[in-house]
Amino acid sequence: MWSQARRKQFFHMDRQQLAQWQLEQLNRLLSQVLPQNRFYAQKLASVPRRLSFLEELSTWPTTTKEELLPSEGDPLRLARNHTWPPDRYVRFHQTSGSRGYPVRVLDTSEDWRWWVEAWQWVLDAAEVTARDRAVLAFSFGPFVGFWSAFDALVARGVMTIPAGGLDTQGRLHLIRETQATLVLCTPSYALRMAEVAREQGLELAPLPVRGLIVAGEPGGSVPEVRQRIQQAWGAEVYDHAGATELGPWGIPHPQGLLVNEMLFVAEFLDLQGRPTQPNGQLCQLVLTNLGRPGCPLIRYETGDLVRPRLPENGRGFVLLEQGVLGRCDDMVTVRGVNVYPSALEAIVRSFAELGEFRIRLFRQGELDQVELEVEDPRNDPRRIARAVKDRLGLRIQVRTVPPGTLPRFEGKAQRLIDQRPRS
């Protein structure tokens, strides 16, 4: 594992040097996995097995999640992109299935060391040391994020406290009794714990928790969501991003997320699917992992919507402003305006008195429409609708419900109800 001092050096690397590093790592990966990896041996049959310049990568085909779906007759129902037979692997994980089809992914011991290394960049950004005590407020099911974070913290020498099997009240008591300094959870669950703490008369700000490392859904880098969590906990919020099938690629940054380009190659597609430069426009993130030979992904269309920018001084990693803004398949165009859930969440979270919310997408005639359902003790939807109109230039229907009416979430929040007909 690299030292923290060495990792810091990479943040000052010239972009040309960085591209050379990525080229070398990608060619090394290809030499490891081809032709053993049947999925990519077939997919990349018409392109060179070795790149001379990193720019050549943009001419290669992309990989989609649909392509990874297991083949018929596979008893383990594994993603198709594994390099070796199952008995070579030691870790089993599964995506959340929020898109309707969970994908099962395996990792070798070498792959897992890469996961733990990738997490060290996140822990660096959160200034985690062996003096910290970290509570992981997760259920510890087959989702990879729980386990990779746990092992990364242990490798760093942190007292690592699992909170699976406890309800929210039990987890709050565990945080208090262990004098935890860090909490790892989703942004939604950070807000849920704060809500339960208020109901129980427990003040969070006096606790020694100094930071929350959040992941699993958009929101941790959205200023309004970040501010709501920080005010409730009296602690800093560190956003992180990754995917079971891809790896932990996002590093916390005060303005959003940095793509860990030491371990991933980042590319961007505009909303029409054409390659584009990281100049701040809304686009889809495409990633290639560079250190997971047992389960490689080359030019993977993540489906994540981002606004990327190159560093101003030409050194360091690409910044995704406000992190992941949403997903391509969640975005809806209403009367010519592109709307994604995190933009509506930012507006809801700007009202301190509002509770949970839910978004309904439906079709009226030939047009997509949005309804926003919000817990509002004031029962005044007009002020929320005005805020949406002022910030997004869009009139949508807002319906208020009593506090405590809408579902709460421990893991990934499912606040989007898509009732549009499937084509």
User: Going residue by residue through the chain (423 aa), what tens digit of pLDDT does each one get?
Assistant: 788 888 988 888 899 999 999 999 999 999 999 989 999 999 999 999 899 999 999 999 999 999 999 988 888 999 999 999 999 999 999 987 655 567 899 999 999 999 999 999 999 999 999 999 999 998 878 889 889 999 999 999 999 999 988 999 999 999 999 999 999 999 989 999 999 999 999 999 999 999 999 998 888 888 899 999 999 999 999 999 999 999 999 999 999 999 999 999 999 999 888 999 999 999 999 999 999 999 999 999 999 999 999 998 888 899 999 999 888 777 776 666 677 787 888 899 899 899 999 988 887 777 778 899 999 999 999 999 999 888 888 888 999 999 999 988 777 777 888 887 776
Question: What is the CA 72 to chain-centroid distance, rounded?
Answer: 29
Question: What is the CA 361 to chain-centroid distance, rounded?
Answer: 22
* Burial (CB count <10 Å: 0-12, 13-18, 19+), residue 199: exposed
pLDDT at res. 396: 86
CA dist., res. 293 & res. 68, Å (int): 16
pLDDT at res. 301: 96
Sign (positive or negative) of CA dihedral 143, 145, 148, 153: negative
pLDDT at res. 340: 74
Single-letter amino acid, residue 411: G
CA dist., res. 76 & res. 180, Å (int): 38
Given a contact cutoff of 8 angstroms between Cβ atoms, the answer to whether 299 and 40 are in contact is: no
CATH 3.40.50.12780 residue ranges for the chain: 4-107+242-326, 113-239
Its pTM stands at 0.87
**How many C-beta atoms surround the C-beta of residue 100 within 10 A?**
5
Q: ∠ CA(262), CA(56), CA(273), 5° rounding?
A: 90
CA dist., res. 273 & res. 379, Å (int): 42
Q: Find the radius of gyration of the CA atoms of the chain.
A: 22
CATH number of 113-239: 3.40.50.12780
Q: ∠ CA(52), CA(57), CA(62), 5° rounding?
A: 155
CA dist., res. 32 & res. 423, Å (int): 40
CA dist., res. 48 & res. 144, Å (int): 33
* Burial (CB count <10 Å: 0-12, 13-18, 19+), residue 360: middle
pLDDT at res. 100: 55
SS3 174: helix
Q: Which residue matches tokens 């594992």? A: 1
DSSP percent split of the chain into helix, strand, coil, nearest 5: 30, 25, 45
pLDDT at res. 423: 60
Alpha-carbon distance values, 201 to 127, 169, 404 (Å):
30, 11, 17
pLDDT at res. 384: 93
Residue 180 per-residue DSSP state: -
pLDDT at res. 78: 95
pLDDT at res. 97: 60
Single-letter amino acid, residue 335: R
Domain spanning 4-107+242-326, CATH architecture: 3-Layer(aba) Sandwich (3.40)
**What CATH class does 330-418 carry?**
alpha beta
pLDDT at res. 194: 95
Q: Please, which residues bridge with residue 185 across strands?
A: 214
pLDDT at res. 4: 87
